[in-house]
Amino acid sequence: MNWHLLVKLESKKKMHRQWKQGQVPWAEHRDAPMLCRDKARKAKAQLELDLARGVKKKKKDFKRYINRKREVQENKVYFSSYPVSSTEMWYWVFLWALFSSLFVHGAVGVLMFVMLQRHRQGRLISVIVVSIGFLGSVTGAMITSAAVAGIYRVAGKNMAPLEALVFGVGQTVLTLIISFSRILATL
């Protein structure tokens, strides 16, 4: 961008601050952003036109500019929220497992309260059973989430949010299947 456009952008910011403080009327303020947008659009178009004209001489610069522009667009849409480190991956998977386990154990706890409300120690038994189940599930989720994050880190992959959801909720579903299938009782 040229120097004149930068001065215009700075004056637009200054005018916006003054308008917020009530020093400049709205009619004066409303034209500044439109004028700056128009000038910025023209400057960008001129830059791309200059690059296109000099493409034969400067192919490397043009390709670098286009690739950088494409990376910025892709990063905006897709890659801005992906966890990068193994700690973030572990955290995402663990949170999904934690909340899905909390949902399941909360529903079971409410069911136990309703079914055992006439029992003398039913409420106490419900709280103990639900808390032990939840703590066991959370402990298992910590360990398996760390294992999944470690595998992803060693493989050099980034984890998408949907993958974290599948691994986190999948741990809870697998725990439910093992609990209801009585595999543990046969061991």
Look up residue 19 and give its two tokens.
């308008």
The pLDDT score that the predictor gives to residue 99 is 92
Helix or strand run (H / E) with residue 25? none
Q: Where are the domains of the chain?
A: 3-57, 86-186
Mean pLDDT rounded to a whole number for the chain: 77
User: pLDDT tens digit string along 6-43?
Assistant: 666 677 777 777 777 888 777 776 666 676 777 777 77
Among 83-87, 100-104, 170-174, 177-181, the minimum mean pLDDT is found in 83-87
Position of tokens 């178009």?
Answer: 45
Amino acid, res. 54: G
Question: What span, in angstroms and rounded, lies between the C-alpha atoms of 53 and 62?
Answer: 10
User: pLDDT tens digit string along 117-156?
Assistant: 888 888 788 888 888 888 888 898 899 999 988 888 888 8
* Whether the Cβ atoms of residue 13 and residue 5 lie closer than 8 Å to each other: no
Percent of the chain whose predicted confidence (pLDDT) is above 90: 9
The pLDDT score that the predictor gives to residue 1 is 52
* Whether the Cβ atoms of residue 27 and residue 41 lie closer than 8 Å to each other: no
The average pLDDT across 100-107 equals: 89
More confident residue, 49 or 81: 49
Look up residue 112 and give its two tokens.
């136990």
Question: What span, in angstroms and rounded, lies between the C-alpha atoms of 126 and 120?
Answer: 12
CB burial of 107-146 (b: ≥16 within 10 Å; e: otherwise) equals ebbeebeeebeeeeeeeeebeeebeebbeebeebbeebbb
